[in-house]
Structure 1
Amino acid sequence: MLQTARPLIVALLALLTLGPFTAQARDNAVDEALVILSSASQQTQGMAMVLANAMAQQGAKVHVLLCDRAGDLALKDDQAEPMKPRNVTPGQLLRALLDKGGSARVCALYLPNSEHTPADLIEGVSVAMPPEIAGQMLNPDIPTFTF
């Protein structure tokens, strides 16, 4: 009898342990979030996009600012290698975020300091206007996350 009850007991203990975190996540819900991504590391880019998608899944409108080499994620010809465990690229995760209603912009310095033009960017990605981004960063209701 105890053998058959053990999985149920473990599941109940897990729920009791996770319960406060789930309630806390609901209590801390925000309407918007700003993710600033400038890392050239593919794993860092991937994790930033995974977290941005998770925030969008939880109802937040997520804005992404892509600077330096991270701006390459927004290129139509992004050639990154898929990463485990889901075999997706950070660029594909960015596109998924856009499909969820998120927004993405490249830093104002990205295009002028690269060989790329606005025509090279995927649909839905534009060039950031510093006053707009500064306003989001200064807004206490919009948490800013940097990677």
Structure 2
Amino acid sequence: MKKALVALAFALGSGAALADKQVVTVVVNDASTMTQGMAMVLANQMQEQGAQVDILLCDKAGDLALRNAAGEALKPNDVTPAQLLDAALKKGATASVCALYLPNSGNKPEDLKEGIRPAKPADMGRALLEPSRKVIGF
């Protein structure tokens, strides 16, 4: 009986830990390839450490969301920021472009990678105000 209660307490504790998953929004607007790359490296690392990562791409960083995104490969792993974004998305990150990106960049929604949409300012504002959410800007 005692072992069953300990197992139940452990199981309930583990479930609570999953429900309390840290949520992080990474806002990237810098045009620098190295800054974009570091933002994506850290987003991937936070995911590997258990966080739910949401990425908001603005200004020139919005170009990472384009289907044909290329860019300069960064050492030491010879990957581009766009490839690092793709890796984060494959692991469950969400990504969006800021509401101003498409109308001011000449791109259209169909130019964006699968699953990436323009952010809705009201929804993004509400998310950024969540007390348990960390917001990191690059």
Compute the TM-score of the two structures, normalised by the length of structure 2. 0.83
Deviations 1:52-98 (A, max 9, x none): 00001111110000000000001111120111000000000000000
Residue aligning to 1:146: 137
Structure 1 CA distance, aligned partners of 2:106 and 2:129?
32
Secondary structure of residue in 1 paired with 2:103: coil
Structure 1 CA distance, aligned partners of 2:101 and 2:126?
20
Structure 2 CA distance, aligned partners of 1:96 and 1:117?
23
Structure 1 unaligned blocks of 5 or more = 1-28
Structure 1 CA distance, aligned partners of 2:87 and 2:114?
12
> Is 1:76 matched up with 2:60?
no
Alpha-carbon RMSD across the aligned residues, in angstroms, is: 1.1
Shift of 1:31: 2.1
Structure 1 CA distance, aligned partners of 2:39 and 2:70?
18
Structure 2 CA distance, aligned partners of 1:70 and 1:39?
6
Shift of 1:114: 1.2
Matched residues, number: 119
Shift of 1:30: 4.8
Compute the TM-score of the two structures, normalised by the length of structure 1. 0.78
Deviations 1:92-123 (A, max 9, x none): 00000000100000000000001110111111
Question: Equivalent of 1:38, from 11, 29, 47?
Answer: 29
Deviates more, 1:45-54 or 1:78-87: 78-87
**4+ residue stretches of structure 1 with deviation over 2 A?**
none
Secondary structure of residue in 2 paired with 1:59: coil
Residue aligning to 1:120: 111
Structure 2 CA distance, aligned partners of 1:124 and 1:96?
13
Residue aligning to 1:109: 100
Structure 2 unaligned blocks of 5 or more = 1-19
